[in-house]
A and B are shown apart, each in its own frame.
Chain A
C-alpha cells in the first residue's frame, strides 16, 4: 500500500467462482481439436500447392504405335522452342502402371497395344501452342495432354478438404467464443453484487470489463496452451511413428516449420479472442444499466 503509482482495480475484486472452472478445460479440448484440424488443413494446403507446382508446365504426348515410336517422338518434341525436357516413358513403366488396372498378365501381354508416351516440361511462362503446331504437322495422330487438367479433380478435392478443415477451425473458434461468453456471463452473474457496488461508485464500463477480460484471457491462455501442447505432441508423435503427417506429398513436407509456428501461436490467438469476447459480453451486460 505504499508508493505513488496510480492504483487500479485489481484481480482480487473478483473471487474465483466456487466449484470447478469449466472454461479452461473446455477451451483446452477445443484448442486440441483446433490444432489437429488446423494441421490437417495446412497439410492439405501444402500438398495441393506441391501437386499444383509439380504439374505446372508439364505435358504428356501420346502416340498410338507402341513404345518404339517414343524416342523419335521425343526427339521431335525436343526441337520445339520452349521445351526444357522431353523424356520417353519406358515401356516397362507403362506396363507396370497398366498392371494396377488390368492385372499383371494382361499388362504384360504383347497383344496389348501400348501408346508411345513422352513427358514434356515447358519453360516457365511458355505457351504450348508451338508444340501443338509441331505435333499437328509431324505427328498428326499424337495427343497432347495437360498435367494440370488431368490433376484438376484431385486438386479440387484437396482444396475442398482444405476449405472444410479451415471451416472447422472457424467453427472451433466460434465454439471457444461461445464458451468464453457463457463463462463471462456466469462470472458476471456470480459477481453482480460487487459489480453493482463498483458501478454505483463510479467505475467505468472499461474498468469493470477489464476485471473480466484479465480473468478470461488468463483462463483461455492456460486452457489453450495445454490443448495446443497436447495437439502438437500428437502430431509430432505421429511423425515419429509413421512419418506420414509430414510427408503426404513425396516432393516436400506436408507441414513446414512456419506451419508449426502458426499452430503454436493458436493459444495466443485464442486468448486475444477470449479477451475481445469477454469485453463485448460485459459491455452488453452493463449496457442494461444506467
Chain B
C-alpha cells in the first residue's frame, strides 16, 4: 500500500520522506515495524496515531535517524539513506527538528543554552543565536525563565523548551512525539499555532499524538495510524488522502 501525505499544492515540491517496504526489529526480536510504505510530501502536516506499543516511537526514531531500518529503503530529502556515509548523517539531522517525548534537555544547561544547542552545533554566530533564542523563548512564554536549568522548570515548561529547541534552527522536517502531553489546553493551542506557522513557512511536520482534539483542531492535516507495527487504514482515508486545503 502506498500512501502519500501532505499537499503537493502547498509546497509544489516532492516527497521529503519516502519509506519503501521498511521493517525494523531490535536485535533478534520480532519485527516492531513491518512493511511501511508511505511518503510525506514537502510542506505537509501529518499526525501519527495508534495504541501504545504500536511502533510510533520506533517510526519516529527511523525518521530522526536514531535507528536504521533492518530492511527496506528510506529516502530523506530526496537522498537514499542506506547509500549515505555515516559522516553525512549530522547534515541530515540538522535539517530535522525533534521533540522527544521525554524532552531530553541537558540538565545542567539553562533553558537559553538548551534552545541554543542546534544553532551552536551549526556554528551560527552568537549574536544571531541570542536573537533567535530570545525570540523563541518569548514565543513559548519562557522569556523570564531563560536562565533556569531544566530541573527547576515544570514539566510543561520543559516541554516548551524542548519544542523551542526543535524549531529554533527552522528545520525542514519537524518530528514531535506527544508534544502537548504535558501542557495545558491553552499552551497546547499556542504550540499548535507555532507548528502551523512553521508549516506555513514550509516545514514538513509529523506529530505523534493520542490527543484527538489536537488532530481535530488542525484543518487539513493528514492522519497515519499504526497498529501492531503496520500502517492501517480503517477508514480508507489513507488510500485516498484528501487534498489539504492549507492550515489556517
Question: Which listed segment binds B: A56-64, A120-128, A201-209?
Answer: A201-209
Q: In the complex, A202 Cα to B93 Cα: how many Å?
A: 5
User: A287's closest neighbor in chain B, by CB?
Assistant: B86
16 A–B contacts, CB within 8 A, in A order: A5-B126, A7-B120, A7-B129, A12-B108, A13-B106, A193-B104, A197-B106, A200-B66, A201-B165, A202-B93, A202-B94, A287-B86, A290-B66, A290-B67, A290-B68, A290-B89
Select B126's contact among A7, A9, A197, A207, beta carbons within 8 Å. A7
Taking the nearest CB of chain B, how far is it from the CB of A192, in angstroms? 12
A112 at the interface (CB under 8 A from B): no
CB-based contact A201/B94 at 8 Å: yes
Q: Once the chains are docked, how many angstroms separate the CA of A3 from the CA of B113? A: 16
- The answer to whether B216 has its CB under 8 Å from any CB of chain A is no
How many residues of chain B are within 8 Å of chain A by beta carbon? 36
Contacts A1-B112, A13-B106, A202-B90 supplied; 16 other A-B pairs, CB < 8 Å: A1-B130, A3-B125, A6-B125, A7-B119, A7-B120, A7-B124, A7-B125, A12-B109, A12-B113, A198-B117, A200-B66, A200-B98, A201-B94, A202-B122, A204-B90, A290-B67
| Count of interface residues, chain A, beta-carbon cutoff 8 Å | 27
- A196 CB within 8 Å of chain B: yes
Is there a chain B Cβ closer than 8 Å to A153's Cβ?
no
B126 touches A202 (CB 8 A): no
- If the complex has contacts A197-B106, A201-B94, A202-B93, are A290 and B65 also in contact, measured as CB distance less than 8 A? yes
CB pair B129–A200 under 8 Å, yes or no, is no
Give the residue name and chain of the A residue nearest to B95 (CB): A202
Q: Are A15 and B126 in contact (CB under 8 A)?
A: no
Decide: B121 and A200 in contact? CB cutoff 8 A. Answer: no
Map CB proximity to B onto A2-19 as digits: 1 under 8 Å, 0 otherwise.
111111110011010000
Q: Is the CB of A2 within 8 A of B130?
A: yes
Q: Does A194 contact B (CB under 8 A)?
A: yes
Quick one: which of A3, A8, A193, A197 contacts B127, CB cutoff 8 A?
Answer: A3
Q: How far is the CA of A136 from the CA of B197 in the complex (A)?
A: 109
Question: Using Cβ atoms and an 8 Å threshold, which residues of chain A touch B212?
Answer: none
Cα A193 to Cα B105 in complex, Å, equals 9
B residues near A (Cβ < 8 Å) are 64-68, 86-87, 89-91, 93-94, 98, 104-106, 108-109, 112-113, 116-130, 165
Q: Is the CB of A200 within 8 A of B126?
A: no
Q: Which residues of B contact A7 (CB under 8 A)?
A: 116, 119-120, 123-126, 129
Q: How far is the CB of A126 from chain B (nearest CB, A)?
A: 64
A residues apposed to B, CB below 8 Å? 1-9, 12-13, 15, 193-194, 196-205, 207, 287, 290
A4: B residues at CB distance < 8 A: 125-128
Chain A nearest CB from B90 CB (Å) reads 5
**Contact indicator A207/B121 (Cβ below 8 Å):** yes
Chain B residue numbers with a CB within 8 Å of A290 are 65-68, 86, 89
Q: Taking A200-B64, A290-B65 as contacts, is the C-beta distance between A6 and B93 under 8 angstroms?
A: no
With contacts A290-B66, A290-B68, A290-B89 taken as known, whether A198 is within 8 angstroms of B121 at the C-beta atoms is yes
Bound CA span A211–B116, Å:
17
Cα(A202)–Cα(B112), bound, Å:
18
